[in-house]
Amino acid sequence: MAPVYVTFQPAYDRCNEGIENAIMMTCSIHTDAELWERLSKEEYKEKKEVLAQVMFAETKKVLPVEDYVLYSEVGSPKTYKRYIGKSKVGGFPLTVRNAILKPKSVRSSFSQLYIVGEQSFPGPGTLSSALSGSHVARAVMKTWALG
């Protein structure tokens, strides 16, 4: 099983109003979108539900969240495509092997242009994109502090 990534954000209702005393938890995992495309509609639905249960079980090993979940939705590569416009993220899954063999620097061929987000290390996803932004901030601060 690949690592399960969990993030927490403020919760908002359908009118984009903050919900007091509530937070939103998002769980995600790296998957091969092409494998999902080969599944029948029934297999796809079953795999989505099973994977959601497994991810929730993995999360509960670290955080006892089961008593606090009021509502949940399950996404998949099709969901990602519907809202993001593509069925998978770019970059590489965040593994030690990929970090060593496929590092994607935040630096570009232009000295004052840095790359952040899913196309630089550590790659795809909210957590990784935020981390690449932190790498860029450190690089910019180091460059300008020395300059």
Write down the residue that tokens 């590569």 correspond to. 77
Average pLDDT rounded to a whole number, residues 95-106: 66
Of the candidates 100, 101, 117, 111, the residue with the CA atom closest to the CA atom of residue 143: 111
Handedness of CA 49, 26, 91, 103 (dihedral sign): negative
* 15-58 confidence digits (pLDDT tens): 889 999 999 888 888 788 888 889 999 999 999 999 999 989 98
Average pLDDT rounded to a whole number, residues 105-116: 75
Residue type, 30: H
Burial 48-86 (b: 16+ CB within 10 A, else e): beebbeebbeebeeeeeeeeeeeeeeeebbeebeeeeee
Q: State the pLDDT at residue 3.
A: 75
Is 70 exceeded by the pLDDT of residue 60?
Answer: yes
